[in-house]
Amino acid sequence: MKHRLAADIGGTFTDLVLLDEDGTLHVHKTPSTPDDFKAGVLTGVKHITGSAGGVVVNQDSPLADIEYFVHGATVVLNALIQRKLPTTALITTAGFRDVLEIMRTNNPYMYDMQYVKPKVLIPRRLRFEVTERIRHTGEVLTPLDEDSVRAAAACLKKADAAAVAVCLLHAYADGAHERRVREIILEECPDIVVCLSSEVAGELREFERTSTTSINASTVPIITSYLDLLSSELRDMGLVRDLCVMQSNGGVITANVARHLPVRTVMSGPSGGVVGGSYLAGAIGIENALTVDMGGTSTDIGVIADGRALTVDEAEVDRWPILAPMIEILAIGAGGGSIGWIDAGGGLRVGPQSAGAQPGPVCYRRGGDEPTVTDACVVLGRIDPDYFLGGEMGLDVDGAHQVIESKVAGALEMDKYKAAAGILTVVTANMAKAMRQILVARGLDPRDFTLMAFGGAGGMVVGDLLRVSDVKRAVVPNNPGALCAIGMLVTDFRHDASTTLVRSLDQADPDEVMKLFVELEKKAVDQLMSEGVVSDDVATERYIDVRYIGQEYYLRIPISNQALDVATLGKDFNDEHERNYGYATREFPCEMVNLRVTALGRVERPSFPEYPQRSAADGALEPSMQRDVFFDGAMVTTNIYKVETLRAGDSITGPAVIEDPRSTVVILPGQQASVDRLRNIHVERIEN
């Protein structure tokens, strides 16, 4: 196994992990650079591969020995949320120009009478119609009028559009008209980016397919520019193999594929954390885990059930649907940089506003002037201001005290310590609510799950979350701030392919279904092979979306790669429906909707480094120091431990603080922490 490198861009910090041939992990954290994210990545790369990292083999070409570099790209998500998108147009079938405006004609918030639809992705003046019509069966009803396409192309040229999404009615059944539209547009506008719905999201559901294709088209120029510049810099540093990018589905693709399908990378960074959590859970024998990744700007929550990360085939980003396989992640505005504020009724709120990387919390000395969760932790004594980032970044303690006192405590007419504790209480209550939401929505019992808290701030609140949630136990991984990047190093190459085939189960032709599966597999596997994956490392999985006839939505059911057993498929669907919704109407007829294939290119997985048991020579575990920390309404003299002094089997009774150069774990009174062989910290309530 050669060196591997991963970079995960967070809202406040960028984490880098370098894996040596011998399995040693080198971790580095550097401030993110929102104005130019690649600058923070390159700064971190130079540090971790340079003399400070201690692993460089060639000063002139520090990346020459890197087998592959996996990057968690946030540029697509940031561009969508901030609406910093290039001029993008839409071409659709005549009569369907306003699909993006009409959406689904419903209010997703039933009792919100002031609900306002999200700002439309593409304005009406940039949406153009062409004459054509294909039936849902694939039969051509109205041939494509090429003159109408050339007229639309002229409008694109006049509008100086950088990209165009082509989404024709029922193109999932036959994409021939869309392909011809692309040919004509490129004849007239050779420099424009053209994205076809039949290639981006070849499934039924017109609005969702149009939304997905529009998002993809509008972000192709952005991610292409970013990856081109970053790849060029990395090549100059000696990187030979194409840069890889983490996908939302938990797999990786090469940068070349990401340039064409940026919509697959929207949740790139957070998915790495769930993959890393799943890999770690398997290593320590945990089947059910709730991953809580608390960074500087947000908390991303995922679910690992029966050893596998839960995925969805459709998700919303900034209230717009995306038809693409994704690890199911619930993101909320709760991070170390989340701002505490007083609402109109005089109540304390935290987030979703964040101080981010710039200016950051007040204690970072970068010009921040709003009270944040991190400032509150400094005031409460949970963070050692002289050991932040291992002492590389000193914190402004006086500034943190002043902003909490002036903007929170004063307004609430309370002591500054209680005000700071209030900020933590509110933010952890928000997180606990989201934890319950993602589990209960899946019909899962929180008591069956282990809370896996990571990210730079996850360990800071793990004890608080145990107190206010129904989860009974927790684990903070070793190197918690870098688990997303670690997950990127152990994930497989992955490609998904799908097609729509609506058939009632009692009329389905198994031979027709299996023939389509073979075609989908070839498409997905060929893509893997083009990225350098060898055939011996390829594995495939098959799924069928099934629903009761008349239903709008469906459930994804895994099937055998050998043959289709319709009776078993129907039984499996009813069992899954009962587990998700509490009932199944087994006598009601069912139908298949979509066929799906996942092709995986397996990568060699390293083992996590193990740590020895405490020996007689080590002596008993002793705190490195003591300091006053605010717990339960009062300052308490608290033992402080350094993570490097911990050994497998060590036990610590709260209150206590365990400090890592890049994170802090807080054990509350009434809680017990223990250390396993991988130096993960397990936290449980002490039973009375």
Residue 1's pLDDT is what? 46
Residue 33's pLDDT is what? 84
| pTM as predicted | 0.88
> DSSP secondary-structure letter at 381?
T
Residue 125's pLDDT is what? 96
Task: Compute CA 510 distance to the chain's CA centroid, rounded to the nearest angstrom.
Answer: 36
Alpha-carbon gap, residue 237 to 332, rounded angstroms: 37
Residue 234: which of 460, 441, 67, 61 has the closest Cα?
61
Alpha-carbon gap, residue 162 to 220, rounded angstroms: 9
Alpha-carbon gap, residue 290 to 460, rounded angstroms: 17
Alpha-carbon gap, residue 205 to 318, rounded angstroms: 19
484 Cβ partners below 8 Å, 6+ apart? Answer: 8, 10, 15, 72, 269, 270, 272, 273, 276, 293, 454, 455
Q: What is the mean pLDDT of each run of 10 residues along the chain (688 residues)?
A: 82 83 80 84 86 51 84 84 90 96 84 87 96 95 97 96 97 96 97 96 93 96 94 90 92 93 90 92 94 89 93 87 91 89 92 83 91 95 87 88 94 93 95 92 89 92 94 93 88 93 92 94 94 92 95 91 88 92 92 95 84 85 94 95 93 94 92 94 87
| SS3 state of residue 565 | coil
Residues 264-319 have pLDDT tens digits of 999 888 899 999 999 999 999 999 999 999 988 889 999 999 999 999 988 888 88
Cis peptide before 655 (omega within 30 of 0): yes
Residue 563's pLDDT is what? 81
Instruction: Find out whether 100 and 239 touch, Cβ atoms under 8 Å.
Output: no
Residue 79's pLDDT is what? 85
Alpha-carbon gap, residue 271 to 563, rounded angstroms: 32
Please state whether beta strands 681-685 and 244-246 pair in parallel, antiparallel, or not at all (unpaired): unpaired
- Residue 46 token pair: 């130079």
Alpha-carbon gap, residue 29 to 616, rounded angstroms: 34
- Residue 417 token pair: 């310590």
Helix (H) or strand (E) holding 108: none
Residues 625-676 have pLDDT tens digits of 999 999 999 999 999 999 999 999 999 998 999 998 888 999 999 999 999 9
| SS3 state of residue 270 | helix
What's phi and psi for 448, nearest 5 deg? -90, 0
Residue 60's pLDDT is what? 66
Residue 59's pLDDT is what? 60
Residue 52's pLDDT is what? 42
Identify the residue whose tokens are 């399995």.
23
Identify the residue whose tokens are 């002043």.
402
Residue 22 burial (CB count, 10 A)? 8
639 Cβ partners below 8 Å, 6+ apart? Answer: 623, 626, 652, 655, 656, 657
Instruction: Find out whether 349 and 407 touch, Cβ atoms under 8 Å.
Output: no
